[in-house]
Structure 1
Amino acid sequence: MVGSEGPLSDVYDLAMLDLDGVVYVGPDVVPGAAEAITAWRSRSRAVAFVTNNASRTPDRVSDHLCELGVAASVDDVVTSAQAVASLIRQRHGAGAAVAALGGEGLYAALAAEELTVVGVGEEAVAVVTGYGPQVVWSDIMQAAVRIRDGLPWFASNTDMTIPTAFGTAPGHGVLVETITRFSGVTPEVAGKPEPPLLEQTMRRRGSDAALMVGDRLDTDIAGGARVGVDTLLVLTGVTGLAELVAAAAEERPTYLSADLGGLLVAHPPVVTEGARSTCGGWSATVVDGALRVEGHGERDDWWRAASAASWDHLDRTGHTASVTEVEPPR
C-alpha cells in the first residue's frame, strides 16, 4: 500500500467503479457515493461503471444509477456481458451462431456485437454463459454436455456470490464451477479479474492513468493488478478485516478508504520498520500470531496500518494473523 501526497483526482484521469458494494448495495445507494462521483467529475475526471453482473443491460444499469442520484449514461456502463460478446466476435467473427445461457444483458450484448443467439441444443460455434436468475436446469445440463464434448466455452465472469435483496446468494461462478467439474473444461472468462472487461473500458475511455475502485479483493483488486493499474479498495461491500489480512500479494490494493470519498483526499503513506507498521497516529504489529493496533487517529489510517502489518507477517511466516482480539474504530 502506497501513499499519495494529494487527492487521487490529481493522479488519475479515470475511475473504473465497480457497482455492487461500491456505488450501491442492493436497491440503495451507498451513502456519500453520488456526492463523491460528482466531485470527481467536477475535477475533469472521467468515470466508468464496470460490473461483472451480466444479467442487466447497460441502459437498465444507467437508469438505476440515475434513480439513485448518480448521473450515468449508457456509454458510462461497461458489463462483463459486453466484454464476453466482444471476445467471441474477435474469435469467431460477426454473424457467428452462439448458444447462450444467461439473462437479458447477455443476449443484448451478443446482439450488439452482431452475433446470432441460438438455443443450447442448436448448431453453434461456441457456448457462452452468464448470470441469469431464470436459467433452467435442463438447459444447464445440455450446455454442460456440449462443453464436455468439445464445444468452446466462454463465460462472462466467475463471481462466486452476488448480493441480493434477501442476502448474499450464489453467483455465476457457482455454475461455472459445476460445469467445470462435470466437463473438465475451464472457460475463457471476460469479467474481472481477467483482463478483457477492464481493457475494453480503458480503450473506450482512452485513459492514460486509470484507477480501479472496488470492494472485492479477488475480482476488483486482482483485476486491476492484472491489467497493470493501481487500485482503491473501499470498505462498503464484502471485504472485512479477516479477508483483508489474508490477501495474497496480487489482491492487495494500492490504496484503501472507507468509501468513495477516498478518491478526493490524500492518502498518508504506511511506514514499516521491522515488524511494526505505522500510519497517521496508529501503530500495528503481529504478536504471537495475533494482530495488535495501538494509538489514535483517522479510521482509514487504522485499516492501512493493520493491513500492512498483517501482510508483512503473512509474507514472512506464511501464516495469516488472527484478528479476533482487535476491533476497527467505528
Structure 2
Amino acid sequence: MSRTLLDGHDVVLFDLDGTVYRGGELVPGALEAVREVHRRGVQVRYVTNNASKPDQAVVDHLAGLGLTAERAEVSTSAQAGAAVLAEKLPAGSRVLVVGSAALVSEVDRVGLVPVSDFADDPVAVVQGLSTEIAYRDLAEACLAIRAGALWVACNGDRTLPTERGLVPGNGALVDLLRSATDQEPLVAGKPERPLLDRAVRSAGGRSPLMVGDRLDTDIAGAVNAGMPSLMVLTGVNTPADLLFTAPDMRPDHVAADLRGLLQAPEEVAIGAQPGWQARVADGVLELARSAPEADALAALRTLCATWWATSSGPVEVRAADEHAKAALHELGLA
C-alpha cells in the first residue's frame, strides 16, 4: 500500500462543522476518508467548538449521516469549558450558565452547580451557543462578570457554517459581553489548547493530526498545541485566506476535502509542487506553470510556500501564462 498522510499518526482530530459535515449534509469525501481512518486502526476524535449539543447528540447526528461513532470519540467545547471550571473552582461552586441544556449537564457532571440568575451569587460564568439565548441571559451574565465572576467561553467562533451559509456563532455573543463588561474570558475551545489536549489524552495519542476548515480555530489550535495539521477547503476559509494568513494560523498541509488524508504526504504538503513555479519580485507574487498535468491546488501549495518564506499578509498575485491565470481564477486569486 502506498504511503499516505495517515501514516505516522495514531489519532486524527476531526473538526465537524465545515469539515465532516455542513448542517445535515456530509461534505464530499468525508464518508470514505473517515471509514478508512477507522479501518487502519487509527484513533478518531471529533473535536467540535459547538457547545450546544451533548456528545450523544453528536454521535446520533454522525450515525444519521452514515458514520459510526462512540461517545468516547466526541470532545465538545462544552466538556472542555466545564473541565476548565472544575480545575479552578471548588466542588459545589455556583456557575451561571449561558447556553444549552448540554452545557448545563456538563457543568453538573463535573460537580459544580448550574444557575441562571445573578441573584444566585454565581462565582463563575460559562458561555456557549444556544438558539434559545435571550437578552435576559446575557444581562444576568453581564452583571455576574462585572461583579468579578470568573468568565469561561466555550469557544470564540464568530460564525457557524450551515447548509444555508454562515450564521452567528458563540463568539458573536462573547463579543457582546466583552463590549459590555470590558473583560476577557478564558476560552476552552479552539484555538486554545484545553479542548485539543483533552481529546488527545482521551485517545492516548502521541502523534496527533488536526484536520479542520478554519484557520483561526482549527489550524491556530493545532499551532498552539504543537501538532501538525491539514486544512480542508470545504468550510469557512478560502484559498486566499490561506495564502494571506499569519504565521500562527498556517497549516502543514492543504487539500480539497478529507480525501487528502489518503494522499501521499508530499502531495498535500505546503511546499514547492511539481508543475508550478512561483517567485516574489517587486512585491508581487508570480505564478507560472511548468508541466501540463499540474492542478490548481498544487499551485496553491507552491504559492503559499513561496510567499510565506518571504513575508505574510495580502499580496498581489499575477499569472505568468494562461495556464497559471486559469489556476488563479479557480482558486479565487485572480
With structure 2 as the length reference, what TM-score do the two structures score? 0.89
Structure 1 window deviating more from structure 2 (155-164 vs 287-296): it is: 287-296
Return 5+ residue gaps in structure 1 as ranges: none
Structure 2 Cα separation of the partners of residues 293 and 270 of structure 1:
18
User: Is residue 2:321 matched to residue 1:327?
Assistant: no
Match of 1:310 in 2: 307
Match of 2:152 in 1: 154
1:123-138 → structure 2 map (5 Å cutoff): 123-138=121-136
- Aligned equivalent of 2:194, options 193, 196, 212: 196
Structure 2 Cα separation of the partners of residues 184 and 223 of structure 1:
25
User: Is residue 2:75 matched to residue 1:73?
Assistant: no
Match of 2:137 in 1: 139
User: Is residue 2:98 matched to residue 1:101?
Assistant: yes
Post-superposition shift, 1:321?
1.3
Query: One-letter code of the match for 1:132?
Result: S
The percent identity for this pair of structures is 39
Structure 1 Cα separation of the partners of residues 330 and 282 of structure 2:
20
Query: One-letter code of the match for 1:97?
Result: R
1:237-248 → structure 2 map (5 Å cutoff): 237-248=235-246
Return 5+ residue gaps in structure 2 as ranges: 319-324
Match of 1:91 in 2: 88
The answer to whether the Cα contact below 8 Å between 2:12 and 2:45 also exists between their aligned partners in 1 is yes
Structure 1 Cα separation of the partners of residues 107 and 31 of structure 2:
31
Match of 2:117 in 1: 120
Structure 2 Cα separation of the partners of residues 163 and 49 of structure 1:
16
1:214-253 → structure 2 map (5 Å cutoff): 214-253=212-251
- In the TM superposition, what whole-angstrom CA distance separates every residue of 1:200-238 from its partner, at most 9, and x where no partner exists? 001111101001110011100110111111111111111
SS in 2 for 1:328: helix
SS in 1 for 2:272: strand
SS in 1 for 2:309: helix
Structure 2 Cα separation of the partners of residues 161 and 59 of structure 1:
23
The answer to whether the Cα contact below 8 Å between 1:270 and 1:278 also exists between their aligned partners in 2 is no
Q: Which runs of 4+ in 1 moved over 6 A?
A: 269-272
Post-superposition shift, 1:104?
2.3
SS in 1 for 2:81: helix
Residues 36, 166 of structure 1: CA spacing in aligned structure 2 closer, same or farther, 3 A cutoff? Answer: closer
CA RMSD of aligned residues (A): 2.2
With structure 1 as the length reference, what TM-score do the two structures score? 0.90
Count of aligned pairs: 319
Structure 2 Cα separation of the partners of residues 209 and 8 of structure 1:
12
Query: One-letter code of the match for 2:153?
Result: A
User: Is residue 2:287 matched to residue 1:285?
Assistant: no
The answer to whether the Cα contact below 8 Å between 2:253 and 2:268 also exists between their aligned partners in 1 is no
Structure 2 Cα separation of the partners of residues 22 and 246 of structure 1:
21
Structure 2 Cα separation of the partners of residues 62 and 265 of structure 1:
27
SS in 1 for 2:311: helix
Residues 60, 32 of structure 1: CA spacing in aligned structure 2 closer, same or farther, 3 A cutoff? Answer: same
Query: One-letter code of the match for 2:161?
Result: P
